[in-house]
Amino acid sequence: MKRRWLPKHVSAFRDRHGKARYRYRRTGFVTYYFKNEPGTEAFLAELRACNDGVSAPEIEAGANRAAVGTFDDLLSRYYRSPDFLDPGERTRVVYRGTLERWRARTRKGRRYGEIMVRELQPRHVEAMLAELLPHRTSANMLRKRLSALMKFAMRIGMAGTNPVIVTRPFKISGGGFHSWTEEEIAAYERRHAVGTVARLAFDLMIWTGQRGGDARKMGPASIRDTRLELTQEKTKVFVSLPIMPGLAESILATPTVGAIFVVTEFGKQFSVKGFGNKFRHWCDEAGLPNCSAHGLRKAAARRFAEAGCSNQEIKAWTGHTTDSEVARYTAAADQRTLSDTAADKLLANLAERLAKDSANTLKINGNK
């Protein structure tokens, strides 16, 4: 029996030019044709997108018969557009899940996907968002996705206005993911010593300020001339960072298996969800139930803010593109430390001004 070397659901064939090509075929799902060769990182990214139902979504009964002008019609176009395909695969999974759950909901016996796009009004949007209460974060996520969808509809001529933008998001109490305190950071370091995989995963995030989804992909190939370089999976932003001493010590002390620093017990690369679950387990072992991988990214940004770094300097590390994003991540910066820094700057400025005024006074008196 011929040994199968391709991943499950992947098969090879030759096109009309005799060139070897590869496709993803799974019963009940759309067929996907790969753009990259098996064994490459790009191919694996495509395969993950197929398995997650992004590039090879499930075939829905009657999907090809969507009435023209409905949200079913609009979504089928949107999923093939750069607006949806440009973000990273994990982001696409989240966005699609939000929209699919929305269009499957019904009101007065009518599915939202069957509604005509031009019929949508602000009062309809507000009613749809209110259905998700008390889950305000979910409602705000849906509002963002509907707004992006309507912008796309306007661009392709399926809508004349965007009724979502005149609605208001719900106010969210709290700051999202908990930002690690220095005490929590120390507790994790005490539980997981340098040289363990748990500590290396931690150090890759706290010393770089990167997301867990990017930390899980880092390996020896990411290091170039004593710098750690990567293109962020979510935003496609390229960052080049100096390797801090604490991270260098952790990398050198931890055995590396293959091309990835942090791997599973079977020597395989973690999936996004698998890495998050494993790090959740490591946090629990350290007695930190409120801490998470994403909260560690916030803690890294907080440290930069408390050190007096500018927004531009922080963005150079985290890969954020706007000051508002940085402000959201550095909200947990120690207020006392920052106010002391501001006081030092103010006193230094006043002293400089006083010195200049005194010099001018002496100069004037000397000329009399």
Please state the domain extents for the chain.
1-59, 67-173, 182-333, 336-368
d(CA 356, CA 88): 55
What are the structure tokens assigned to 69, written together?
Answer: 């002008």
Report the residue count for the chain. 368
Average pLDDT over residues 285-310: 90
CB neighbour list of residue 181: distance below 8 Å, 6 or more residues apart = 299
The residue-averaged pLDDT of 293-316 equals: 89
- In this predicted structure, the answer to whether residue 357 has a pLDDT above a threshold of 70 is no
> How is domain 182-333 classified at the architecture level of CATH?
Orthogonal Bundle (1.10)
Contact, 213 vs 204, CB < 8 A?
A: no
pLDDT of residue 223: 93
SS3 340: helix
Distance CA 70, CA 112 (A): 9
Classified by CATH at the fold level, domain 67-173 comes out as DNA polymerase; domain 1 (1.10.150)
The mean pLDDT of 13-27, rounded to a whole number, is 85
pLDDT for 154-190, tens place per residue? 998 999 999 999 999 998 776 577 889 999 999 999 9
SS3 state at 13: strand
Number of other residues whose CB lies within 10 A of the CB of residue 63: 14
Check if the beta carbon of residue 222 is closer than 8 Å to that of residue 228: yes
Contacts of 154 (CB under 8 A, 6+ apart): 160, 161, 162
How many Cα atoms are found within 13 Å in the side-chain-facing hemisphere of 298?
Answer: 21
**What is the average pLDDT across 220-245?**
90
What gap in Å lies between CA 7 and CA 50, rounded to an integer?
12
Collapsing DSSP to helix, strand or coil, 256 comes out as coil
Give Cβ neighbours of residue 237 (< 8 Å, ≥ 6 apart). 231, 319, 321
Burial of 76 (C-beta count, 10 Å sphere; 0-12/13-18/19+): middle
Hey, how many other C-beta atoms are within 10 angstroms of the C-beta on 295? 21
Q: Are 320 and 328 in contact (CB under 8 A)?
A: no
Q: Is the pLDDT of residue 113 over 90?
A: yes
**Residue 220: is its pLDDT beyond 80?**
yes
What's residue 33's pLDDT? Answer: 84
Residue type (1 letter), 227: R
pLDDT at 334: 62
Q: What is the pLDDT at residue 3? A: 47
The percent of residues in the chain predicted with pLDDT above 90, rounded, is 46
What mean pLDDT is predicted for residues 225-236?
A: 88
* Geometric angle at alpha carbon 286, from 281 and 288, rounded to 5°: 80
Distance CA 244, CA 69 (A): 54
- Mean pLDDT value across residues 42-57: 82
Q: Which phi and psi angles does 345 have, rounded to 5°?
A: -65, -40
Q: What is the DSSP letter of 229?
A: E
The confidence band for 1, taking pLDDT boundaries of 50, 70 and 90, is: very low
For tokens 């507790």, what's the residue? Answer: 187
Q: Residue 284 in contact with residue 241, Cβ under 8 Å? A: no
Token code pair at residue 163: 């009724």
pLDDT bin (cut points 50, 70, 90) of residue 309 is confident
- What is the mean pLDDT of the segment spanning 232-257? 90
Q: Do the bridges between strand 110-111 and strand 223-224 make them parallel or antiparallel, or are there none, so unpaired?
A: unpaired
- For the stretch 58-68, pLDDT in tens is 766 555 567 88
CA-derived radius of gyration, the chain: 26
